[in-house]
Amino acid sequence: MQRDTLVSFEGVVKRFGSFVAVQKMDFEIRKGEFLAIMGSSGCGKTTTLRMLAGLEAPSEGVIRLSGKPINDLPTWSRDTPMVWQSLALFPFLNVRENVEFALKMRGIGKVERRRRAEQWLDRMQITEFADRNIAQLSGGQRQRVALARSLVVEPEILLLDEPLSALDAALKVRMQSVLKTLQRETGITFVYVTHSQSEAFSMADRVVIMSRGVIEQIGTPQEIYRAPRTRFVADFLGSSNLFSGRVRPGAAGGVELETPAGALKLGGDGVMPADGTTATVTVLDTKTHLSVTPPARSVNVVPVRVVGEEFVGATATVYLETPQGQEIRVQKGHDELADLPLGIGQDLFAWWEPKDGHLVAEA
Amino acid sequence: MRRPVSLYGLTFSLPLLIWQLLFFVFPLLFLVALSFWTVKNFVMSPDFDTVNWTTMYGRAVFWQAYGATFALAAGAAALTSILAFPCAYAIAFKLSDTARRWAVFLMVIPFFTSYLVRVYSWQIFLSDNGIINVMLGWIGLGPYPLLNTVGATMVGYLTLSFPLVVLLQLFSLVFIDRTLIEAAHNMRCGRVRTVFEVVIPSARVGLVIAALFAFILSFGDFVSPIYLGGGDPTTLSILITDTTKSGQQWPRAAVIALTMIGTLMVVAFAAVQFAYKGKTK
């Protein structure tokens, strides 16, 4: 175990009856990092968080906090404050009383309680609402109250369960930067559960991607984006083109992948798969290029036909199809696409550098 | 903006309005009028005389009965609420959905039998030769005077309001947001403390209304104080019957009845105010 590990999951399994919510989970949360756990609904991300908070007990395995097993520690004996999706603010208390609640439970005296609550109300810029009822606050203000209420005890770790999902898009972006800044300033470890890739990638230092109770990949947003480790991750992120085929020795040395779209040369990173096995390679849609004539080089060129185009702000996505019917996406700035004829049915060539292709683990 | 009264709306609201006028407002007004009538030689005659009010309010026995009735009803409301709460709490939080449905069903069953019958059956238990004293006799205890005591009156009040109070409490407890309880636990609030810090404040409206019902039912009850309490202490409801029997004093009974109605109105208003205190709608 590393010295900077705060939490470790060791072979943790969680079953609800015959349903396995989390299967054999092993991972570590480092001190002071912003970790996002991402996946679609039902993937076990919330269950993972609830086990860490002590709201669910693992069926198997050990969860350690600062090296000590916490499996049998009830939630009220742990220091793992959580921010709920519904925020779970107490409607019968005003803002200040909500923020003071955890301090009161710790038996901290009135004066000290007041002082520390005041500090966090000020930090979250909600001092002016201190004496209001929760029902009188807007969504963003409630969000801040919930954060202040959890952070007022200055914990080592803060758990967040999709806290921004009820906010509108603009407010969401603003709260993301509030959260990120808060995390950096306090140095508190944040564990943030979300189904939103943009939330996870914009805030987190590391991202855990889960699917059906299994961790598919752990890494920095850049690592995951550039080289999805499994087919599931690549599909989930939806920002790469995938090609599957049989591995064989390349004509000009190296290794090639024999796919329906033609022979594709594999790049240099990682261990090359053995001849004769099947493999899948991913190429980011931003690293896939288009041209009217075949490029001078002969490797990794696929003839394609335009099937659609979509403008996404600063960039555009071009949807294409290989003669075999496989969909390929290319994402580029408007300038780069300006010279290309992109009418539907237009024949073009798609190509990429072998170094931009990444092998994924076969599932 | 005021909306015009439509024929359609009237069709549905008129019968209720007429009912209320006929059987609530008119009798109440009649009761008020009656309280100013006079009685001479056992004959009532319409009049406008405050003699009934001054006589009743001038009597110590009236104020003793008033105090006793109020104290008994308040005690019954508190006792019933305290005893009902663990029951409602267990049904709301500890039972499965199926078991909860059965519990609600079982709580309704007492209403199948007349309250009077249930109170008479308590006499069989509580009398000097009753079931409880006979059983205590087996182990060489007693007999204790159980019937015709304040305790027996309380048993009667509990019989009257307990199932209703449990149901009212239950319905306010099941609607508590469970994440609030988890959040409290998560902030180091232990299990018992959470009941006082989160569950009771969350269910306050329902709990207060339940206690209010227990108070109203007990305050006006005639059956328990007479058949289980033996008429001692005299409650206002007993005083009413005594007053009507003694010399046709219906106008004085009307004074007692109006005082009771006034008291219940004040208590109900105060309780609702308290229940919704701090809630802005």
d(CA A245, CA B281): 64
Name which of A20-29, A123-132, A233-242, B251-260 the model is least confident about.
A233-242
**Region A217-231: what's the mean pLDDT?**
90
For residues B18-26, give the mean pLDDT: 93
- Whole-angstrom distance, CA of residue A149 vs CA of residue A166: 18
Helix (H) or strand (E) holding A21: strand A19-30
Here the tokens at position B84 are: 């009902």
pLDDT tens digits for range A63-78: 999 989 999 899 999 9
Are the CB atoms for A74 and A54 separated by under 8 Å?
Answer: yes
CA pair distance B126, B115, nearest whole angstrom: 16
Q: Which residues in chain A touch residue B186, judged by CB atoms under 8 angstroms apart?
A: 53-55, 75-76, 80-82
What was the pLDDT predicted at B182?
Answer: 94
Q: What tokens were used for B211? A: 């206690």
With cut-offs at 50, 70 and 90, classify the pLDDT of residue A336. confident
Given a cut of 90, whether residue A279 has pLDDT beyond it is no
Angle between helix axes A95-105 and A110-123 (nearest 10 degrees) is 130
ipTM topping 0.85? no
For β-strands A68-69 and A60-65, DSSP reports them as antiparallel
Give residue B103's pLDDT.
Answer: 93
Question: Quick one: CA dihedral A130, A135, A137, A143, positive or negative?
Answer: positive
Lowest model confidence (mean pLDDT) among A104-108, A299-303, B222-226: A299-303
Q: What is the pLDDT of residues A180-222, one digit of tens each?
A: 999 999 999 999 999 988 899 999 999 999 999 999 999 999 9
Q: How confident is the model at residue B243 (pLDDT cuts 50, 70, 90)?
A: very high
CA distance B152 to A3: 69
Q: Of B62 and A282, which is predicted with more confidence?
A: B62
Burial of A352 (0-12, 13-18, 19+ CB in 10 A): buried
Q: What pLDDT score does A14 carry?
A: 94
User: Is the pLDDT assigned to residue A252 strictly greater than 70?
Assistant: no
Using the CB atoms, write b or e for B88-101: b if 16+ within 10 Å.
bbebbeeeeeeebe
Nearest to A75 among B179, B186, B202 (CB): B186
Higher confidence at residue B254 or residue A309? B254
Which of A76, A91, A136 shows the shortest C-beta gap to B190? A76
pLDDT, position B278: 64
Domains of chain B: 51-275 (1.10.3720.10)
Per-residue pLDDT, averaged over B111-134, amounts to 93
Chain A residues with beta carbon closer than 8 angstroms to that of B183 = 82, 84, 88, 90
Percentage of chain B lying above the pLDDT 70 cut: 98
Length of chain B, please? 281
Q: What is the pLDDT of residue B241?
A: 93
Of A145-154, A303-312, B120-129, B181-190, the poorest mean pLDDT is in: A303-312
Distance from CA of B272 to the nearest CA of A (A): 16
Contact across the interface for B187 and A77, Cβ inside 8 Å: no
Which residues of A fall within a CB distance of 8 Å from B182?
Answer: 55, 75, 84, 88
Q: Tokens 């208590």 identify what position?
A: B267
CA distance between the termini of chain B: 20
Mean pLDDT of B42-64: 92
- B6 touching chain A per CB within 8 A: no
CA-closest candidate to residue A270, choices A170, A189, A361: A361
Using the predicted structure, report yes or no on whether residue A166 has a pLDDT greater than 90.
no
Q: Which of A74, A88, A106 sits opposite B180 (nearest CB)?
A: A88
Mutation target vs B (from A49, A76, A145, A191; most B CBs, 10 A cutoff): A76
Are the C-beta atoms of residues A234 and A247 closer than 8 Å to each other?
Answer: no
Q: Do A90 and B278 touch (CB under 8 A)?
A: no
Residue type present at position A178: V
Any CB–CB contact under 8 A between B49 and chain A?
A: no
Residue A276 has pLDDT above 90, yes or no: no
Q: Are strands A357-360 and A278-284 parallel, antiparallel or unpaired?
A: antiparallel
Q: Rounded distance, CA A33 to CA A184, Å?
A: 9
Given an 8 Å threshold on Cβ–Cβ distance, is B177 in contact with A105? no
Taking a C-beta distance cutoff of 8 angstroms, is the pair B107, B113 a contact? no
Residue ranges and CATH numbers for the domains of chain A are: 5-226 (3.40.50.300), 232-360 (2.40.50.100)
Which residue is listed with tokens 């206002």?
Answer: B236
B187: nearest CB among A74, A91, A105: A105
| Interchain CB distance below 8 Å, B188 and A74 | no
Confidence of residue A302 (pLDDT cuts 50, 70, 90): confident
Q: What is the pLDDT of residue B2?
A: 67
Q: pLDDT, tens digit, for every residue of B141-191?
A: 878 899 999 999 999 999 999 999 999 999 999 999 999 999 999 999 999
Q: Which of A111-120, B10-19, B124-133 has the lowest mean pLDDT?
A: B10-19
Interchain proximity A105–B188, CB inside 8 Å? yes
Overall average pLDDT of the B81-109 stretch: 95
Asked if A76's CB is within 8 angstroms of B189's CB, the reply is yes
Whether B195 shows a pLDDT value over 50: the answer reads: yes
Q: Is the pLDDT of residue A170 over 80?
A: yes
Mean pLDDT value of segment A139-143: 91
| Residue A45 contacts residue A38 (beta carbons within 8 Å) | yes
Nearest CA distance, B85 vs chain A (angstrom): 20
* pLDDT confidence of residue B281: 41
User: What b/e readout covers A2-27, taking b as 16+ CB neighbours within 10 angstroms?
Assistant: eeeebbbbbebebeeeeebbbbebeb
Strand arrangement, sheet containing A327-333: A289-291, A347-351, A301-312, A315-321, A327-333
- State the DSSP code for A159: E
* Local structure of residue A94 (DSSP, 8 states): B
Burial classification of residue A64, based on how many CB atoms lie within 10 Å of its CB (0-12 exposed, 13-18 middle, 19 or more buried) = middle
- Band of pLDDT at residue A1, cut at 50, 70 and 90: very low
Question: What would the two tokens of residue A36 be?
Answer: 């996002």
Report phi then psi at A228, rounded to 5: -60, 135
End-to-end CA distance of chain A: 28
What is the structure's pLDDT at A8? 94
Model confidence at A296, pLDDT cuts 50, 70, 90, reads confident
| Mean pLDDT computed over A118-138 | 93
The reported pLDDT for the residue numbered A3 is 61
* Average pLDDT of every residue of chain A: 88
**Residue type at position A324:** Q
Interchain CB distance below 8 Å, B185 and A88: no
Amino acid of residue B22: L
**Does the distance separating the beta carbons of A86 and B186 come in below 8 Å?**
no
Residue B160: name the closest of B262, B237, B52 by CA.
Answer: B237
Residues of B in contact with A82 (CB under 8 A): 183, 186
